[in-house]
Amino acid sequence: MAVPLYLLAPGMNVSRLCLGSMTFGEQNSLGESYRLLDAAFHAGINFIDSAEMYPVPQCSVTQGRSEEYIGRWVRARKIPRDKVVLATKVTGPSGQMVWIRGGPMCLDAKNISEAIDASLLRMHTDYIDLYQIHWPDRYVPMFGESEYDSNRQYPSISITEQLGALADAVEAGKIRYVGLSNETPYGVMKFFHISESDSRYPKIISIQNCYNLLCRNFDSGLAECCHHEGLSLLAYSPMAMGLLSGKYLYPGGGPPDARMNLFRGKYAEGETRYSLSKQNVEAAIEAYKLLADAYGIRPACLAIAFVLKHPLVGSAIFGATKQWQLQEVIKSCQVNLSVEIMSDIDKIHSMYPNPCP
């Protein structure tokens, strides 16, 4: 069974499963990445997501390899450019990744323009199908934070300037469509209001935010914005960094090559959000695993199928380092969650609401 397609934008059908590439160049070698891409493409996955800062954990030596591997694969396999949808992201301000334009310190027009040109070179392509702002150029609670602190705000680049730079890239044919990531309802609506004020500015077509059984914050505010403005959710981390597979509940804490074991202490964003020591995280995982077992569904398939069932989700962005993991995710497209299963999921959610925001 081929992975079904979804109309994300005029002239752009994307597979409902999107292969994330944040392991390419770190956990996965070039050859391993090729084999994963081959198998995914053969199954009907035409949507591939990357970012200029990938792979993670991020460092100066490997930065950009994920985009490079994807571009080399497209050329090596002689895949017609219109048969694959390439998405990538510009790094938001951090001040820590000094090897990326000095931090980067902001998302001004110069940074956005330079980032687009560099991604085009690494991906060996004339255009990027979907170009996304990885996170906002302003303070917002992210990656496990849930409460807004007005005292943490800092001077930021206007959304008008950001949209202007993206408009220039669209006009130049360097990108086709524009999306956001890790955004808030406020940010989404500001982008929409500004793009509506001037027809030169591109309209945002998607938002790439976390959504899974352990994090359903999207439904509190953002879902309403997306519904009324016609925005699709590209749900990243549908398996909560692998937690929902149940593997970290195994004796010894799971396989030593599992991401949270392999990079312990090196990936603060992921470890903060998906720590088993957080309240109710382990209990929630166990509850969803027991539910999957009761219905004869693999826990990973339950997790992915839940995300795909959401009416606003265009595609679920997943990662895989091994072929069997990829095949298990693909099987999730065949899982039909009944009204009874969804009711049982909601019961667990009411007991353990969003333990990994």
Residues carrying an active site annotation = 54
151 backbone dihedrals φ, ψ, rounded to 5°: -70, -15
